[in-house]
Amino acid sequence: MKAIIQDLSYNQIKELVASYGQPAFRAKQLYEGLTQGKDISQISTLPAALKSRLLEDFEDCAIKIIETFESADGTKKFLFELADGNIIEGVLMSYKYGNTQCVSTQVGCRMGCKFCASTLNGRIRDLSSGEILSQILKVNAAYGGTKEKRAVTNVVLMGSGEPFDNYGNVVEFLKNLTAAEGLNISARNISLSTCGLVDKMYAFADDGIPLNLTVSLHATTDEERARTMPIANKWSIAQILQACDNYFAKTGRRYIFEYSLIEGENCDRRHAEDLISLLKGRPCHVNLIRLNEVKERTLKATDEQSAYRFLGLLEKGGLSATLRRQMGADIGGACGQLRASYIDSSRK
Ligand code: SAH
């Protein structure tokens, strides 16, 4: 596989074009074309000779949408093919305030969470920053978005992969996504979810990107957490909370916990009480999700009524909490489900 041109920042594109002995305005045309979601060969403002020079060094197409599924609720789910043939997936959800795209950061995942479909076959490879960015460039373009009027207004790093297990590429991606010359999406409109790689949470606070930092908690004690999340054997909940407080101190952004309600596992009254004593008074929000049942896994979702009861307990205890509306359940909404079923069906 050749290099991915979307890995480059605007400054790096300028240096590249200069190194080819081309005038500076070509860099602007090239960067604009890429920001519009075009492949190199599709950028009509560039002369043919420059395009063939670029194609010696770079893949023409970093990523392409190979299938789109539409849910009855308007949620769209995509299968993307990378230049090396690997398959990843993404989602676009419509809300009153705009459209949120969920992107993948790795092909597969090696974190091993028991409820998650992304990790079933482990991690195949990291995505480069340009491969993460191109998911958004392609979807924005597919829905008629431009740089000025984006079809994708918000981004969540909640697809397949653990963003902090691909730290360098993810930070580079965030810089390029928020760059004024590019799509220019504000960090406030970006959420990054981690299963809690505490050392990287500290590094990220030092990098100072003020986005919505989200941590997958899913349990209230380290022992119980380790039953579904192997990462709990490495970092404790206490260490996670300290790292979150450090992020708040450095960026001024409150943080969010995701808590997927699993029947018989983590949603009794005692768990609500635990959460209240862990989180009360902290600058945080709790996002409850009813488990999306994955066919390869045995864990079961709580029913809706119990989910609302759990939410009520948290609110009564003084926490800021919401129960996330389930979207796209009819099209394989949960992380990694679509890719898993695609790979399954192409094996048959
Ligand atoms: N690796 C990151 C990014 C994944 S984000 C992380 O662990 O945070 C996706 C969120 O959905 C995480 O909170 C993850 O734990 C959760 N999740 C994964 N599979 C799920 C499922 N089947 N049902 C409900 N939530 C799930």
139 and 254 housed in the same domain: yes
Among the listed residues 192, 176, 173, the one whose alpha carbon sits nearest the alpha carbon of residue 184: 176
Find the range with the poorest average confidence among 110-114, 156-160, 227-231, 341-345: 341-345
171 and 50 housed in the same domain: no
Q: What mean pLDDT comes out for the span 228-251?
A: 98
Closest protein CA for atom 1 of ligand 1: 162
CB-based contact 90:138 (threshold 8 Å): no
- 287 in ligand 1 pocket by Cβ < 6 Å? no
39 and 83 housed in the same domain: no
Domain with 18 in it: what CATH number?
A: 1.10.150.530
Name beta bridge partners: 68. Answer: 78
Half-sphere exposure of 180 toward its Cβ, with a 13 Å CA cutoff? 0
CA distance 243 to 254: 12
39 and 81 housed in the same domain: no
Query: What atom in ligand 1 is closest to the CA of residue 158?
Result: 5
Domain boundary among 35, 57, 79: 57
Q: Which tokens sit at 92?
A: 């676009």
- 115 in ligand 1 pocket by Cβ < 6 Å? yes
Per-residue pLDDT at 204 exceeds 90:
yes
47 and 69 housed in the same domain: no
Among the listed residues 303, 296, 308, 298, the one whose alpha carbon sits nearest the alpha carbon of residue 335: 296
48 and 75 housed in the same domain: no
Among the listed residues 174, 1, 161, the one whose alpha carbon sits nearest the alpha carbon of residue 88: 161
CA distance 91 to 336: 11
CA distance 25 to 117: 46
| pLDDT tens digits, 273-328 | 999 999 999 999 999 999 988 887 889 999 999 999 999 999 999 999 999 877 66
Distance of CA 248 to the CA centre of its chain: 21
Helix, strand, coil % in the chain, rounded to nearest 5:
40, 20, 40
Domain boundary among 29, 57, 85: 57
- 292 in ligand 1 pocket by Cβ < 6 Å? yes
Would you say the C-alpha torsion 315, 241, 244, 226 has a positive or negative sign?
A: negative
Residue 347 burial by Cβ neighbours in a 10 Å radius (0-12, 13-18, 19+): exposed
| pLDDT tens digits, 77-117 | 999 999 999 999 999 999 888 999 999 999 999 999 999 99
- Known catalytic residue at 89: yes
SS3 82: strand
184 and 261 housed in the same domain: yes
For ligand 1, the distance from its centroid to the CA atom of residue 162, given in whole angstroms, is 9
For ligand 1, the distance from its centroid to the CA atom of residue 186, given in whole angstroms, is 23
Q: What is the pTM of this model?
A: 0.95
Ligand 1 pocket mutation pick from 105, 260, 261 by most atoms within 8 angstroms of CB: 260
Per-residue pLDDT at 348 exceeds 50:
no
Number of separate domains in the chain: 2
Q: Would you tell me how many other CB atoms lie within 10 Å of the CB of residue 290?
A: 22
Residue with tokens 């400054």: 11
Tell me which DSSP letter residue 289 carries. Answer: E
Spatial neighbors of 34 by CB under 8 A, at least 6 apart, are 5, 6, 13, 43, 137
132 and 167 housed in the same domain: yes
71 and 52 housed in the same domain: no
Among the listed residues 256, 250, 267, the one whose alpha carbon sits nearest the alpha carbon of residue 311: 267
Give residue 336's pLDDT band: very low, low, confident or very high (50, 70, 90): low
For ligand 1, the distance from its centroid to the CA atom of residue 157, given in whole angstroms, is 10
51 and 181 housed in the same domain: no
Mean pLDDT of the chain: 94
- Antiparallel, parallel or unpaired: β 123-126 and 154-157: unpaired
CA distance 156 to 92: 10
119 vs 55, more confident: 55
What is the residue range of 126's domain? 63-347
Domain boundary among 13, 42, 57: 57
Helix (H) or strand (E) holding 345: helix 337-347
25 and 93 housed in the same domain: no
288 and 306 housed in the same domain: yes
pLDDT of 331: 65
| pLDDT tens digits, 128-157 | 999 999 999 999 999 999 999 999 999 999
Domain with 144 in it: what CATH number?
A: 3.20.20.70
